Amino acid sequence: MFGASIGRAGQRIIDAMVRWLAHGHINPNILTVVGVAINVGSGLLFGMGQFFWAGIVLIVANLFDMLDGQLARMSGRVTSFGGFLDSSLDRLSDMVVFVGLMVFYARDTEFHSTLNVFLAGAGLMGSVMVSYASARAEIIIPKCDVGFLRRPERVVLFIIGALSTRPSSHNFFANRMPAVLWVLAIGSYWTFAHRMYHTWIEVNKTEISQPSPAEIASSESTTADIRPKTTLAHKAG
C-alpha cells in the first residue's frame, strides 16, 4: 500500500509536468534529445569516477525519457519518426553509460579491473542484442518484449550501482557496481535468448495455423474439379 501510494503521488507529479509542457506546446522530440544529452553527461561522470553524481544525472535523464512519450500522447503528436527517434536514442543512452564504466575501470587507478571492463563490454553487447532482437522480431510477429532485463531494469540497476558506490565504505550494500555488471552481462544474454526462443515459438504457431502452398494448390484443384460436375448436375436436372 505504501509503495502504491508513492507510485500514485509520483504519477500525479509527472502528469502535472506533462500538462504544463503540453500547454507550452513543447515538441516531444526536444525532450528526447535533451534526455540523451543528459545521459551523455552521466556517461562522462562514470568515466571520471563520479559515480554518485552520475547516478543523480541518470535519474534526471530518465525523467525526460518518461515525459516525452506521455507528452506525445497527450498533445496528439505521436508520430512514426518520434518513435524511431526515441528508440534509437535510447540505445545511445545505454551505450554511453557502458562506455563510461569501461573507461573508468580501464584507467590506471586503484580501481582498475580488466574483469569489470570485460563485464561492461559484454553488458553493452548484450543490451544491443536485446534491443535488436525485439526490433527484428516485431517485423514478423506482433510483439517481442519478453525477458526480465529490459531497458527500465537496466537503468534501475545502473542507478543502484552508482548511488551505492562509497570507495571508503566496507558495508555489504556499498560499492555494488561490480555486482550490477555481472547481472547486466548475464541477464542481457539470458533476455536475448528468451526473445529468440519466444520469436521461434510465435513464428511456428503462425506457420502451423496457415495452410502450406501445397495445401492451397490442392484445395484450388479440388474446387476446380467439383465446379464442372456441379454445373452438369444442374443441367441434367
Taking only the tens place, the pLDDT of each residue in 9-39 is 566 777 777 788 777 778 888 888 999 999 9
What is the spatial distance between Cα 206 and Cα 225, in angstroms, rounded to a whole number? Answer: 30
Of 38, 45, 37, the C-alpha closest to 59 is: 38
pLDDT for residue 218: 61
pLDDT for residue 16: 79
Q: Which three cell numbers stand for residue 185?
A: 552481462
Of 60, 86, 63, the C-alpha closest to 162 is: 60
Residue ranges for the chain with pLDDT beneath 50: 1-3, 6, 230-237
pLDDT for residue 3: 43
What is the spatial distance between Cα 114 and Cα 123, in angstroms, rounded to a whole number? Answer: 14
Tell me the CA distances in angstroms from 119 to 78, 125, 127, one per residue in order.
Answer: 37, 10, 12
Is 112:105 a contact under the CB 8 Å cutoff? yes
Per the confidence metrics, is the pTM higher than 0.85?
Answer: no
Is 61:38 a contact under the CB 8 Å cutoff? yes
Tell me the CA distances in angstroms from 81 to 7, 89, 232, one per residue in order.
Answer: 30, 12, 59
pLDDT for residue 17: 78
Q: Count the Cβ atoms, other than its own, within 10 Å of residue 34.
A: 16
pLDDT for residue 226: 54
Q: Is 125 exposed, middle or buried (0-12, 13-18, 19+ CB in 10 A)?
A: middle
What is the spatial distance between Cα 157 and Cα 104, in angstroms, rounded to a whole number? Answer: 18
Q: Count the Cβ atoms, other than its own, within 10 Å of residue 33.
A: 15
pLDDT for residue 12: 73
What is the spatial distance between Cα 234 and Cα 186, in angstroms, rounded to a whole number? Answer: 71
Is 123:98 a contact under the CB 8 Å cutoff? yes
The H or E element containing residue 210 is none
CA 148 to chain centre: 11
The three-class DSSP label of residue 173 is coil
pLDDT for residue 215: 56
Taking the CA atoms of the chain, what radius of gyration do you get in angstroms? 26
